[in-house]
């Protein structure tokens, strides 16, 4: 005897972005273009600052500038993965919120074009 098929639902490991809202996200991500730009600017600025600090220390030690920059870039890459975990999470949350917002607007526009807009009598 076989069991009946379960009701269809979201697949394992697949996010259902239709229920996410900026208020539900733990980081308070808005998904607005300004929020995404700010998150990108903070993350990139922090990474560049780490490269500059490491290169500055190496130049102060006596290494040539170009060699110091190359070493600083190589060292800063893995270092920033650990140092800026929070900034990366904030950036990912902003991008996810922006994607969900765009998806919702696109679905709303498609519904309006089909004539399924809410509040409209057929």
Higher pLDDT, 21 or 104: 104
Listed residue (36, 53, 51, 46) closest to 100, CA to CA:
36
- Residue 9's pLDDT is 43
- Residue 19's pLDDT is 43
Q: Residue 55 contacts by C-beta under 8 Å, 6 or more apart in sequence?
A: 65, 68, 69, 71, 72
Domain residue ranges in the chain? 33-113
> Quick check: 68 and 116 in contact, CB under 8 A?
no
- Residue 10's pLDDT is 45
Confidence of residue 23 (pLDDT cuts 50, 70, 90): very low
- At residue 16's C-alpha, the angle toward residues 15 and 17, to 5°, is 100
Q: Which of 24-33, 47-56, 88-97, 105-114 has the lowest mean pLDDT?
A: 24-33
Rounded (to 5) percent helix, strand, coil in the chain: 65, 0, 35
pLDDT tens digit sequence for 37-89: 888 899 999 999 999 999 999 999 999 999 999 999 999 999 998 999 998 88
Query: Helix crossing, 33-61 with 85-114: angle to 10°?
Result: 160
pLDDT at 17 over 50: no
Q: Where are the alpha helices (DSSP H) in the chain?
A: 33-61, 65-83, 85-114
């Amino acid at each position: 005897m076989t069991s009946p098929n379960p009701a269809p639902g979201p697949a394992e490991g697949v996010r259902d972005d239709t229920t996410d809202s900026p208020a539900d996200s733990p980081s308070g991500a808005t998904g607005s273009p300004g929020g995404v730009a700010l998150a990108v600017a903070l993350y990139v600025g922090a990474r560049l600052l780490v490269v500059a600090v490491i290169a500055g220390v190496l130049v102060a030690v006596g290494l040539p500038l170009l060699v110091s920059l190359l070493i600083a870039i190589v060292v800063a890459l893995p270092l920033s993965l650990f140092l800026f975990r929070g900034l990366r999470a904030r950036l990912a949350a902003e991008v996810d919120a922006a994607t969900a917002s765009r998806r919702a607007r696109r679905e709303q526009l498609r519904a309006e074009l089909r004539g399924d807009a809410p509040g409209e009598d057929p």
